[in-house]
Amino acid sequence: MFAGFGSAKRIERLLGDIKNNVANDDNEIAALHDAISELDAKGEKNARSIKHYVVNSLKSAEIRNYRQMESLHWLTYGLTTRHRLPPLRGWASSPDLLLELQDFIFSTKPELVVELGSGVSTLVIADALRQNGAGKLISLEHSSHYGSKTQLMLKREGLSDWVDLKIAPLEPWEGEHLSDGSEEKLYWYSQECLKDACDVDLLLVDGPPASTCKFSRYPAMPAIVSSLKDGAQVWMDDTTREEESTICSAWGEKYGFSIEFLELEKGLGILKKQ
């Protein structure tokens, strides 16, 4: 009944006595008062701790939300698209990541970007390339449903010519992997879809889904590393998740890339080819 308090059994016994109208002894009544006072003191302490936790959590959430709103403002300020963006919550790329992408493309003017997993990021990259006046995006999407949505979004904004969007079904992967495949089959995008990916300046890894298999994003580097330019960068989204951060560390160690983790909403790992 009062689990977690040292006097739980004593309080239960005394309250039982009261219920049966036998708590007439002065010592029992005094003991009950002491136990209730102890309970009140612990309750006040717990209440203060809960209040402190709630207040700090609300402050942190307010700061996070402000950062996303600020990023969304500057992102849309830099876009030349005419229609509203899709919702940027849930599985979609966060505004802070999209702003980083936009700034990177404006400043470095890449000739070729490869993206694993399409969506609003495809639109932002294509729009930035169009504003640069040069460059190409190869986007791999395993889902024909979401790929069609992305194609429609690009067409509506007149950006289709800047993107080679490939529906790349997931196929068995037999190359290097962090998982040995003994517990489940390993899958990755059809590598046939990457035959035109040469001299890549930026690789954005946001797929395939984690549900595909353990360490589902790992094959990106062994599949594409030989096609990366010197000085190229590899961006891994979602590095607040242990699996994605582990993959980044493994890539950096095996391929000799430098690693930087940015504290974005979902985390971003940036690897640079030396």
236-252 pLDDT tens trace: 999 999 999 999 999 99
Let me know: does 270 contact 262? Beta carbons within 8 Å.
yes
Look at residues 48, 78, 108 and tell me which one is the last residue of a structural domain. 78
| Beta-ladder partners of 204 | 115, 235
Q: Looking at the structure, do residues 123 and 252 belong to the same domain, yes or no?
A: yes
Q: How far apart are CA 175 and CA 61, in angstroms?
A: 41
49 and 152 housed in the same domain: no
Residues 94, 25 within the same domain: no
- pLDDT score for 104: 98
Pair 114, 224: CB distance under 8 Å: yes
pLDDT of residue 83: 94
Split into its structural domains, the chain has a count of 2
Whether residue 128 is found in the same domain as residue 223: yes
- In the prediction, which pLDDT does 4 show? 46
CATH code of residue 123: 3.40.50.150
Domain range spanning residue 21? 1-78
Q: For residue 90, what pLDDT is reported?
A: 83
123 and 12 belong to one structural domain? no
Write down the pTM of the prediction. Answer: 0.80
- Please identify, among 78, 108, 133, the residue that sits at the C-terminal boundary of a domain: 78
Residues in the chain, pLDDT under 70: 1-33, 51-52, 181
The reported pLDDT for the residue numbered 1 is 43
Residues 65 and 133 in one domain: no
**How many Cα atoms occupy the beta-carbon half-sphere of 230 within 13 Å?**
1
Domain closes at, from 43, 78, 113: 78
| One domain, residues 131 and 254 | yes
pLDDT given for residue 3 in this prediction:
46
Residues 55 and 149 in one domain: no
Residues 33 and 134 in one domain: no
The answer to whether the CB of 122 falls within 8 A of the CB of 154 is yes
225 and 118, same domain (yes or no):
yes
Q: In what order do the strands lie in the sheet with 112-116?
A: 163-167, 136-141, 112-116, 200-205, 228-237, 268-272, 258-262
Same domain, 243 and 148: yes
Q: Which residues contact 163 (CB under 8 A, 6 or more apart)?
A: 122, 125, 126, 136, 137, 138, 139, 154
| Alpha carbon distance 74, 97 (integer Å) | 12
What token pair was written down for 88? 């940027």
pLDDT tens for residues 121-163? Answer: 999 999 999 999 999 999 999 999 999 999 999 999 999 999 9
Same domain, 53 and 120: no
